[in-house]
Each structure stands twice: as C-alpha cells, then as structure tokens.
A and B are shown apart, each in its own frame.
Chain A
Amino acid sequence: MTLIIGILYIIYLLLLGSAMRLAVSIYTKDKAHIKINMDFITHAFFQGVMLLILLLNFLQYLPVTAITVTTILAAVGTLSLLVVLIGIKHMTSQVSYPDKSGVTLTLLVLICSTWIYISGIKLPNIAWDSWTVWEGKANQWINHGLSSQIESWNHWVISSDSLYNQSANYPDGLSLLFFTPKLVTNAAFYKIHLLYLFAFAASILVLIKHIKALGAPFFLQVLFILVIYTTPLLINHLIIIGYADIWIGMILTLVVIAYLDYYSLKTKDNLFTLIAYLALLPMFKLEGWVWLFLFILSHILVQIYSNIKVRTWLIGLLAIFLIWTLSVGISLNTPMGELILNNKQVIVFGLIDTKIAFNNVTDLLMSSLFWQNNWSLIWLGLPFLLASFIKNKHNKPNRVTQVFFSLSILSFLFLFYFTEASQWAEDFTAINRIVLQLTPAYLFLLFKMLTEFQNDIKVRHQHSLKEELAS
C-alpha cells in the first residue's frame, strides 16, 4: 500500500507538471512536437512540485477544510489530465527510449534507489528538524486547517488565532509536500520516501544525459553513478529522509542544467523551465534566497563583464562599496526590513542577522570535508575544478555557472569564518548540510571537467546538446 500511494503521489505530480509544460508549449506556440524523454519527465515532476506548492500556498489564504483541499487537488488533477490529453491531441509527441547504455545506467540508478529504499523502509522520521518543523508543520495544518497561521514564540504569545512552531519562519514548500499525502493517509511519512528517491534518481539521470552529451565515455558515466550513490552523507539524506537540504541540492543542479539548456536552445519552454527551478529555490529553504541571488548576480556579472567600460565602472563601484562598508558602514530602513552592513554586523532584511568576527574553523572544515568521510574523496577535485575555471576558455553560460559556483564557495567560507554560523561548524551540523546543498551541482561540474579533460573538447557540449535538444 505504501508503494502504491507513493507511486500515485509521484504520478499526480508528474501529471500536474506535464500539463503545465504542455500548456506553456501550446500557449507560447513554441513547439508543435513534444519529445518525451528523461528531461521532460524530470522537469515535469519538479514543475508539478512547484504547482502543488503554489496551489496550496494560495489555499492557505482561504478558510478551507481538509475535504475542500482534497477536492480541489482532485479537480486540479483531473484538469491536468484533460490538458495532457488535449496537448497530446494537438501536438505530435515522440517517446524517446534510451539506448543500450542508457538502459544499463537507468537500471543501475533503479537498483541503487531500491537498495536505499529497503535500507530505510522501516525507519520512522528520526531527523529532529524534520519531525519538529518540516513534517511538524504539516501535522499542524492537518489538525487545525491549512489556513492556520503558524508563528514563532514572540508572535504566538500576543496572537489569539495562530499556532506555534519553533521555526515558523522556514519556507512551507517541503511541509506542503508532507501535508498532501496526509490528506488521504495517516502514515504519510513512508510515502514521502519514494518522492525523495524518485526526485533524486530523475535528477541524476538528467545529469548523466548531459554528461553523455558532452562526450563522457560509458565508464565515466558509471563512475558518476557510483560516486553519487556511495557518497556517505548524500545517501544518509536519502535513507534518513525529512530534510530540505537535498531538495535544494537537486534544484540547484537543475538550475545549472536548465540555464545551460536555455542558452543552447533559446526557447520559451526552456526559459520557463529555468524560471520554475529558480522559483523553487526559496520555497524549500531560506538559503534558497542566497543561491537565487548569487545566480542572478553571476548572470549579470558575466553579461556585463565583456564590456570593458562597464567592467571598469563595476570594479570601481565595488571597491568604493567595500571601502565604504568596511570604514563607515551602511544602514538603511527599507519596506522589506533593516539593511545594515558594516565591519561588525550584517543585517539583511529578515534573512540574515549576524555579528562579524573572524573564527578559525579550518580544522573543523577539514574534518567536515574529509576526515569524517562525509564526502569520501570528492572535495579533492575542488582545486582542480576552480583552476579549470581560470585556465580554460568557456562560453558565457558556462562562465555563469562557474562564477555562481565560485561565489557560492566564497559565501560558504565567509559564512563559517566570519559570521555566527561558525557555531554550526563547531557542532558539525549546518557546515555539512550547506555543503550538501552544493554537492550535486559540484559533482556535475566536476564530471563535466573530467569529460572535457578526457576528450580535450571545449565546445562540443554546445553542439551535441543543441542536437539533442533540437531533436
């Protein structure tokens, strides 16, 4: 029964996402031909997740009962089915079956996923933040209604109609994914396990497809799967499910893929896919805002970098901004909240509030990245990857992903060396979980570098990917 409900939940999300993708294609008249392949399935699934979260977010503003929510979700499901049927009728579709090596790799991913599922099949929700917050909020909505306001202590004590949760400020995305199966079954936790595994496996298969398109030999593709499924902390988050970090990891990687796809073939479909992934980031964790900001910043930086005049101005302004921030400081009261930047304190609206002081966390960082065996040997490749960013000539979209990854690493180091987040390095908590959010994207970039290194090809990606997407 667990399997059936879990699979039905995945199909429901696929249906929602497929309908959305087909509707976008029909509306934009972008394509009269739809290719059903791994990219389509994965993007449809994540867009289904986004649509469900947005729909439930909307319903949170209305005084709806659980039965009404269930009815609305069933109606949306039926409508999605209709859209899919209409879409198939109006557009020619072609199912793209994987070749022999594709079947082997898919089977390998399936075996690894089954092994993880069996490993955690009887494990209840043991992850503290998950049963208190992520699943905890879902339980509160089930008991008190989806529209119930959830507040932290300071607001709760003065309110007459809100519920309490210690981390009320966390985004609702994952909690809403927990909430949906609870509408039909009490034991929803085990069904969510399938959702995690499907999302992860689908993301990995998309990454493999892109690495293959770059010209990766079969053994490198197998190595990629082996690395992904034997990286200890990555797998722990798939066995002990309930945390949002792995979702951010998956979405961030798919942002990178969607960005490269969009610049390979500038269709409205691809642009919509990219925007959908970017929009998903802040729905799962507050850090999502940081990654979203860094990605947009990377895009802007790379776009204006080629203009020498603008670049000079930019460097000049950045230097003035840094000198001003460090010497005088910035203090603004905005409608979004306080913005204080100086050499002692950083407050950015409601998102960041920390004192600035140097903390030497090098030993803790070494333990986290190497000695605890969280990541096996993967971070040995980081210096080589960063060096490859400098050495090789890359096109603009690749540059954006590289600038984004470099800025992410710098932000991570700043966070733990200079802010109060160093306490999470000392207790070995968030230091590993934030690394986790970057790990799938890092592994994709690392294997992309290895493939290019093996093939000595720098532009092949563009050609092969273009052909793949155009077909």
Chain B
Amino acid sequence: MSTYWLLSILILTLCLTLNFDSNKHPKLEPIDVTNLIKVQPKFLYRRNNTFYALVVGQLRIDIKLDGVAQDITQYNLFVVNDLAYKTDTKISLNWKVNDKSFQVPLTLSTKSYTPINFQTKNINEVSDLHLMIIQDSTFGTDHSFQDEIKFKSISFNHTDNQETFAIDTNNWLAFNPINFGSVNSYTTHTSMIYQSLILRLSIWMMVTVLLFLILKISKKHLLFSFLIGWFITAFFYLNNRFHQNLQLNNSFPEETSFLNLTDKVMYHSAKKIKSALSDMNIAPTIEQKIVIIGPSDFSNQRLLTYLNEYNVALKIQMQEVLSTVKYQNTTYLLINGSFFYCDYIRKYPEYMKLAEIIHSDSNLCIIKSK
C-alpha cells in the first residue's frame, strides 16, 4: 500500500512538472522589450517601475524591434510580469507575416505566460508587432469610461528557460472569462489553457490504474487516487469560477434584461420603430406582417426580439423577400446596412410595382407591399 502511494505521488509530481517537449533548442536569452514599446502620448506612464496604460475604448502598444540583435521568431513565449488586468478588457499580441495577420489572446494572469508561434523562421517577414488592449463590452451596460492596465515588464522568452510547472500553474490559474459561447464550450479553441492539466492528470490516472493492477492493492486506494485527481482539476475550476463571478458582478451589478450596450441601442431603436409604425397606423396584430431586412446578426436578432409584439421576421435579401412574400399586408423595415435598399427600390420600377416607400428618414426606411 505504502509502495503504491509512494510511487503514485512520485509519478504525479513527475507528470505535473516534466517538460514533455523532447526537442532541444540552443540556449536563448530572454529579450526584454519593455523599453521598446511605443504608445500614443498621454496613454502610458511609468511610476515606481510600473507601467500604467490608460484604455479608452482601445489602446495599441507598438513593439519596435529596431536594433534588437536576437531573432524573435526563435522564441515561443510572451511574458508580462505583474500584469493587473480588468475583467472587462481583452489583451492580445498581434503581428503580420507577409501581410497575413496573426493574433494571440494573452493569458490573463499576474505573471502572464502566453505560448506563441510566429509562423515563420524569417525575422524580416515579421511586421506590425503590437499589443492591443480592448475594452470588452460583450456583457453588461455598466462599463467604466476608462480602464487602467498595469504591468512591470514585457519580454519574449523560451519555454526551455522556464520551469514547466511555473508556466503551467500560471496558465491554469489564469482568468478564463464567460462569453456568449460558454454554453457551447468552457474554453475557446483559441485559448485552451487547461489542456496540459487534463493531459498530465490523465496520464497520471492511467498510471495509477496500472500500479493498482501490478501491486494488487485494495480498491479503495485507487478510488482515493481518482478523488485526488478530481480535487486538482476542481481546485483550478473553482478558482476560475471565482474570477468569473467577479466578471459577472462587474458586468451585471443589478438585474437587467440588457445583455450589452449594443442591446440597449437596439431596444431604443425598437422603441423609435414602434412609434413610427404607430404613426402610420400599423398595428401590432398577427395579420400585419413585418420583415426586418438585414443579416441574422446579434443586433437584428435583438431588434426582432424587441419588436416581438408585432408579427415580425428577419431576412437578409430584399429581392428574395419581395419575390417570395405573396401576402399583401407586409411592411419592410430597412435599417443600418440594409438602408441602401430604399434607394434601390426607387431606382427599379419592377420593385416599385410591388412595394411603396411609406417612411424614410436618416435612420429608418419603411416600405409597404402593394
């Protein structure tokens, strides 16, 4: 029994700490690029060895590599020390290779280690290297006008220079925010920060099963090993849940039906549309059909939701709508991108035979079938 636990704990330690990358790289000194960053004046200042970046909407921090002797394409880790992020900001490292853009979201942790691959071995092909900090208004309507992001230093490094366990634990403890797609998957496929945790613990659990079979110990020891494995993943999960709760509390400090700022705008647009429809004696009845012309994106879907008291539908192509909707009592709402159809209708007599423009202002065009 003691042999089992001794071996089991030893193998768990090895599984969590070993670097499985067998490729040996020449020793690379880290490149500190903190002093190579360039920002629009007044949006970055330094105090007590800490940089303070002011983000109003978004902030671009260029990394100018002129004069850097090392080849950064050899490096596979982007490190930000003492990063103090906000739960409603997104930070990414961006660059171009032969005009093709690449973007890697930064791991949101106090010591941020983000794995990178420049997708080229030729430094001359890399251009436009910069950090982009964006105030993320995906959730909530209560965002601050200005966010302040703090960090002490920025560098390019190589995983060979760092303890695998240190990089991994930082990533496992990093903040993985809730987003609209969170009902489909816990982490996005572009930022699978728990992959190495699951892989390492899976290997350990399979080894414990083998040890159990070889050493023929009591079954409860194997079950306790599973309990330990689960506790480790549960710890990192609960840590992230704590951060996600903070994110939700910041985004939704009170009960609201608004999902975000765009949603709030669409609510007010719907109110204006209802008023315009009312002025034209178009009542919210099932007989009176309304079609919003536009793509099935978030804005139009929310508009559709807010116009729910009408018999309303959404379709992208005006031409298709005019040729398929045979029912006479139909009104078409043209907003934003689809607004040009109002002119389109005016230009083509064949459509003017089918429909007439009954309202047109700078925000809205309403067409009614004849």
Contact = CB atoms under 8 A, between A and B. Distances in A.
A158 B326 contact: yes
B99 interface: no
B327 A157 contact: yes
Interface stretch (A131-139, A293-301, A328-336): A131-139
B234 A376 contact: yes
Q: Is the interface of A mostly helix, strand, loop or mixed?
A: helix
Interface stretch (A19-27, A140-148, A249-257, A410-418): A140-148
Contact of A373 (B186, B258, B289): B186
B13 to A, nearest CB: 18
B259 interface: yes
A232 B244 CA distance: 12
Interface stretch (A78-86, A117-125, A272-280): A117-125
A433 to B, nearest CB: 7
Contacts of B188: 428
Contacts of A140: 308
Interface string A411-438: 0000000000000000011001100000
A371 interface: yes
Contacts of B199: 370-371
B198 A223 contact: no
Contacts of B40: none
Interface string B186-220: 11110010110111011001100000000000011
Interface in B154-200: 178, 180-189, 192, 194-195, 197-199
B229 A243 contact: no
Nearest to A367: B189
Given A124-B252, A140-B308, A454-B223, A230 B185 contact: no
B220 A454 contact: yes
B92 to A, nearest CB: 20
Given A371-B192, A374-B185, A190 B255 contact: yes
Contacts of A213: none
Interface in A127-170: 127-128, 131-132, 136, 139-140, 143-144, 148, 153, 156-164, 166
A374 B326 contact: no
A83 B183 CA distance: 40
Interface stretch (B62-70, B273-281, B309-317, B354-362): B309-317
A412 B36 CA distance: 52
A432 B245 CA distance: 23
A95 interface: no
Contact of B186 (A121, A233, A377, A454): A233
Interface in A206-250: 217, 219-220, 223, 226-227, 230, 232-233, 235-237, 239-240, 242-243
A144 B192 contact: no
A191 B226 CA distance: 37
A453 interface: yes
B269 to A, nearest CB: 17
A132 B301 contact: yes
Q: How large is the interface on A (under 10, 10 to 19, 20 to 34, 35 or more residues)?
A: 35 or more
A227 B258 CA distance: 33
Contacts of B233: 230, 373, 376-377
A235 B182 CA distance: 10
Interface in A432-453: 432-433, 450, 453
A132 B259 contact: no
A187 interface: yes
Contacts of B102: none
A377 B286 contact: no
A65 interface: no
B192 A377 contact: no
A372 interface: yes
A235 B186 CA distance: 10
Contacts of A240: 178, 182-183
B241 interface: yes
B326 A157 contact: yes
Given A124-B258, A144-B286, A428-B185, A119 B180 contact: no
B74 interface: no
Contacts of A450: 223
Interface of A: 118-128, 131-132, 136, 139-140, 143-144, 148, 153, 156-164, 166, 187, 189-190, 217, 219-220, 223, 226-227, 230, 232-233, 235-237, 239-240, 242-243, 367-368, 370-374, 376-377, 380, 428-429, 432-433, 450, 453-454
18 contacts: A122-B249, A139-B308, A144-B309, A156-B313, A157-B327, A158-B326, A160-B329, A164-B312, A187-B257, A226-B234, A233-B186, A236-B178, A243-B183, A372-B187, A373-B186, A373-B194, A373-B237, A377-B230
